[in-house]
Amino acid sequence: MRRLRSWALAFGLLIVGMAIGISIVKDPSVEPEAHVSHTQSREIGTDDGVTGPLTPTPAAATDRPQRPDEQHSSEVAAVRFLELTEDVVQLSPEAGAEMQRSIASENASDRLATDVSDLLTQLQADVPDGVALHLAPLSLNSVETSTGWDVSIWYVEVIVYGDQLAVEQWRTATYSLVDEHGEWRMDDLESSDGPVPTRPASVIGWSATSLTSAVAGFEDEVLLP
């Protein structure tokens, strides 16, 4: 049990780096306007002198492929990467590394894939009964950089270690994303604790088996942007 609690404290640092991904550019989902950061807004002057929001020109009109920020923002990509971490903990070290490599930037693919492989190898040795992860993004902030976007996501997660322990964590993950070949790619990741709210003293945590049984019929696919 002590070893599991030790894992609970350290697990969050690398686990969000294991997010596998799908092609953000090809996904038909529409980004909610409430999630668009003001730092990502741009304006141009119209012909009549009135300033209005920048409207991307369709690719067919300019004979060029659409860029990721015209079809899906870096914020959507970062949230998808974070959410899909739930799947990676179920993979073998080899499969997890390959999935991570497939969505990482060319510069970071080897490093991030190695991080995933090492963590999954150690995790599966320490917790042979397996780990289940449930997480939910709460809010985000994005900042444009010289190479792309840094998207910080505040989220809460529940890590269930077999049938022995279920632990909640409040964390902030910052994804550094770059545009490569018309898709958003993960170039780096920083993760930190908090912000953490105070829990009411009257709240008692559930056992791992009780929690797993209670959430068995739930799924979060329709909650994603």
Predicted local confidence at residue 219, as pLDDT? 82
The CATH number of whichever domain residue 123 belongs to comes to 3.10.450.230
Is residue 59 one of the residues assigned to a domain? Answer: no
33 belongs to a structural domain: no
Q: Would 55 be classed as within a structural domain?
A: no
Task: Dig out the tokens for 203 from the structure.
Answer: 């709240």
Our count of domains for the chain comes to 1
Kindly report, residue by residue over 137-189, the tens digit of the pLDDT. 999 999 999 999 999 999 999 999 988 899 999 999 999 999 998 899 999 99
pLDDT band at 198 (very low <50, low <70, confident <90, very high): very high
Which residue range(s) make up the domain with 188?
A: 2-21+64-218
For 78-96, how does the pLDDT look when each residue is reduced to its tens digit (9 = 90+)? 999 998 888 899 899 999 9
